[in-house]
Amino acid sequence: MNTITTDAATAASRPTDARPAASVARPTGFARDTAAVFVRESRPLVRDPFSVVFSLVQPLVFLGLFGPLLVGAAGGDVAGTLQWFVPGILVMVALFGTAATGSNLLFEMQTGSHERTLVAPLSRGTLLVGRALKDVVPLVIQGTIVVLVAVPFGFRLDVPGLLVGLAMLAVFGVGLGALSYTLALACRNRDWMFWMVHQTLLFPLMILSGMLLPLDEGPAWMRVAAAVNPLSYVVDAERALLAGAFGDPSILGGVLAAVATCAVGLTLGVRAMRRAR
Amino acid sequence: MPRDARGMTNQMITARGLTKTFRAKGQEVAAVQGVDLSVAEGELVAFLGPNGAGKSTTVRMLTTLLPPTAGDAVVAGSDIRRDPAGVRRRIGYVGQGTSGGHTQRVRDELHAQGAFYGMGRRETRARAAELIDSLELGQVANRQVQSLSGGQKRRVDIALGLIHRPELLFLDEPSTGLDPHSRANLWEHIVDLRRETGTTIFLTTHYLDEADQLAERVMVMDEGRVIADDTAPALKQQLAGDRVTLAFGSATDAAAAAARVGGESHGAVVTVTAPDGDRALPRWIRELADAGLDVHAATHRPPTLDDVFLALTGRSLREEGAAAA
């Protein structure tokens, strides 16, 4: 039994000269707590910026390998095809980046660091909102890189359009990220369920958004499906914005879809986080 | 025992009738059944019991992680139902898992933790540096949590739990999965912390030696109830006697001796459980020799907390612990 070298039993006797412990924790508000969560979530990105670039591989592969096929199939010029295709890739960045983000929370729920934040005097909602806002950072960086990569190949960059487009994408991404966290909270320790739902939804959402191929030639049911897919509105609006066509009515549709996704995502996410035990 | 916890300034935890029932597969499972407990300021108390006894569930209720099905508790001056935020500000909690995010650096996590508790930037940085120093984390402060050893991770967990100088620290199974050296090191840190800050510490464990060596007071928990609550020596004294074995030249001698001293014989060996066995042993040897029964060998073992658990439940905690590990 005595493998222990410390004389813990004697040392554990009542402290004599101890000053009484008094917690220095102070009450805070929603904004400050959200900022604290945001900063914590962002730190690994700051420490390891390469991770942001690494997750760009997939969209860049689509741009580099799918793009030329699209040029060949459509028979158009490279610049014109890129003008149509790059906005879709931008939305793909947002989709891939935020839809899987719940897996980070899932992992923290399993290891115990999420539990630690639940015992901290943070309001539960900030745990979700701070995380969802963090996802905007890599999204904006990656989106900018994708566009810049396309410029040498003839993509015409409209700077105001890009800025508004990224802002809309950020709003959409916050909502999608929040939905991903909601899914993680619902799955709790069932990784397989998270990934099953993720995979089941991701590709249909992507294809039915007209991101990779236009849906105009598709069967009627596909166009109906696209009409109820918020992603397709975001893709259309992104195409108009990146072309600098600010008067295009599709922009309003995209903004509404992004705001609606954000509102639904945050509502469901905050509710799920409040119920988390 | 005081009825009104708020009237007592020096009570850190007062719980009355704390109960938690879970619904599993359509059946109600009572994880914790009417637990009453009180812990005074500055105490170091261990909750000892097998896995599944309800220790963690009780701690999760006291730390506001889990709402109780019934019962009330006042923890660090705040009611767990009415003012959970007040409880959270004053307690530190080290759960069974790893508190630090795997891809986070140790120092970053400490800084984030300070912000979570509403501490200022400078205050957090100073406190983080202090904890890194006192918990010997200087070598790993800029490394990611996932690259640390089990013992290092546990020290990070404790540092995170202490960032805001809590008045009360909960440690849920603090040394589970650690090698003996890391455990001893962790215990030293816990004891130092206690001595230097007077923080009240409430820990759960299924390790007998941890409860025995570390805690001043042991509450034994089994099947959702607290079945004993006292200092380890008092529990041993009251609930389990010393174990004395006497070896003889033959089984017949052993049987005759067993009848005289009130023990049980197995072959040529007699086992007796008795309070103050150390004092009884020389007398028995003398008396048995007078009766012509020569004691060839004798051993004496003071009681352990496992003997206490065995006396209380009829089961050995050591075996359950080994089975669980």
Q: Kindly report, residue by residue over A168-197, the tens digit of the pLDDT.
A: 999 999 999 999 999 999 998 888 999 999
pLDDT over 80 at A10, yes or no: no
**Inter-chain contact A24–B164, Cβ cutoff 8 Å?**
yes
What pLDDT does B308 receive? Answer: 87
Mutate which: A1, A7, A39, A115, vs B, most B CBs within 10 A: A115
Backbone phi, then psi, for B102, in 5-degree steps?
-60, -35
Point out the residue among B76, B95, B165 whose CB comes nearest to the CB of A24: B165
DSSP A14: P
Of B73, B71, B65, give the one whose Cα is nearest residue B94. Answer: B65
The verdict on a CB contact (< 8 Å) between B118 and A118 is no
Tell me the CATH architecture of domain B241-302.
2-Layer Sandwich (3.30)
Residue A53: pLDDT band with limits 50, 70, 90? confident
| Kind and range of the H or E run holding B93 | strand B91-94
Phi, psi of B222 (to 5 degrees): -150, 135
Q: What pLDDT band is residue A21 in, cutting at 50, 70 and 90?
A: low
pLDDT tens for residues B162-190?
999 999 999 999 988 888 888 888 898 89
Q: Phi first, then psi: what are they for A76, rounded to 5°?
A: -90, -175
Contact A6 B187 (CB under 8 A): yes
Distance from the A39 Cα atom to the nearest Cα atom in chain B, whole angstroms: 7
Q: How confident is the model at residue A218 (pLDDT cuts 50, 70, 90)?
A: confident
- Contact (CB<8Å) A25/B118: yes
User: Cβ contacts (< 8 Å) between A117 and chain B: which residues?
Assistant: 116
**CATH code, residues B5-236:** 3.40.50.300
Which of A4, A38, A51, A277 should one mutate to test binding to chain B, selecting the residue with the greatest count of B CBs within 10 A?
Answer: A4
Is residue B86's pLDDT more than 70?
Answer: yes
Tally of CA atoms within 13 A in the half-sphere of B4 that contains its CB = 2
Q: Hey, are the CB atoms on B118 and A277 less than 8 Å from each other? A: no
SS3 A118: helix
Q: Is the pLDDT of residue B193 over 60?
A: yes
- Is the pLDDT reported for residue A27 higher than 90? no
List chain A residues with CB under 8 Å of B91. Answer: 23, 119
* SS3 category, B44: strand
Mean residue pLDDT across chain A: 87
* pLDDT value at residue B29: 87
Q: CA-to-CA distance for A201 and A106, rounded, in angstroms?
A: 18
Q: How far is B64 from chain A (nearest CA, A)?
A: 7
DSSP strand pairing (B168-172 vs B91-94): parallel
Contact A27 B85 (CB under 8 A): yes
In the prediction, which pLDDT does A13 show?
47
Would you say how long chain A is, in residues? 277
Instruction: Using an 8 Å CB-CB cutoff, list chain B residues near A112.
Output: 95-99
Chain B residues inside the 8 Å CB shell of A44: 101, 103-104
The one-letter amino acid at A194? F
Identity of residue A198? H
Determine how many CB atoms are found less than 10 A away from the CB of residue B24. 9
Cross-chain Cβ contact A24/B119 below 8 Å: yes
pLDDT at res. A24: 84
Q: Find where tokens 């040897």 sit.
A: B285
pLDDT score, position B319: 64
Task: Tell me the average pLDDT across B94-121.
Answer: 95
pLDDT of residue A110: 92
Average pLDDT, rounded, for chain B? 89
Compute the average pLDDT of residues A228-232.
92
What is the value of pTM for the model shown?
0.86
> A118 contacts in B (CB within 8 Å)?
65
What are the domain boundaries of chain B? 5-236, 241-302
Residue B235 tokens, joined: 């529990």
Q: What mean pLDDT comes out for the span B216-228?
A: 92
Give the pLDDT band of residue A230 (cuts 50, 70, 90).
very high
Closest-CA distance of chain B to residue A19, Å: 6
Range of lowest pLDDT (A8-12, A19-23, B164-168): A8-12
Residues of B within 8 A of A25 (CB-CB) are 88-90, 117-119, 164, 166
For range B223-230, the mean pLDDT? 92
Tell me what pLDDT residue B315 has. Answer: 83
Token pair recorded at residue B62:
């006291």
What local confidence, expressed as pLDDT, does residue B316 receive? 83
Q: Cβ A12–B194 below 8 Å, yes or no? A: yes
- Terminal C-alpha separation, chain A: 37
**How large is the ipTM?**
0.86
For the segment B274-302, what is each residue's pLDDT rounded down to a tens digit?
Answer: 888 888 899 999 999 998 889 999 999 88
- Chain B residues with beta carbon closer than 8 angstroms to that of A24: 117, 119, 123, 127, 164-165
Q: Count Cβ atoms within 10 A of the Cβ of residue B272 and give its class: 0-12 exposed, 13-18 middle, 19 or more buried.
A: buried
- Mean predicted confidence (pLDDT) in B93-115: 95
Average pLDDT, stretch A101-108? Answer: 94
Nearest residue of B to residue A48, measured between CA atoms: B103
Choose from B116, B154, B175 for mutation: most chain A CBs within 10 A: B116
Q: Which of A26-30, B1-5, B115-119 has the highest mean pLDDT?
A: B115-119
Query: How far is residue A126's CA from residue A64's CA, in Å, rounded to a whole number?
Result: 39
Radius of gyration of chain A (CA): 23
The arithmetic mean of pLDDT across residues A158-162, rounded, is: 93
Q: Does the beta-carbon distance from B109 to A40 stay under 8 Å?
A: yes
pLDDT for residue B91 is more than 70:
yes
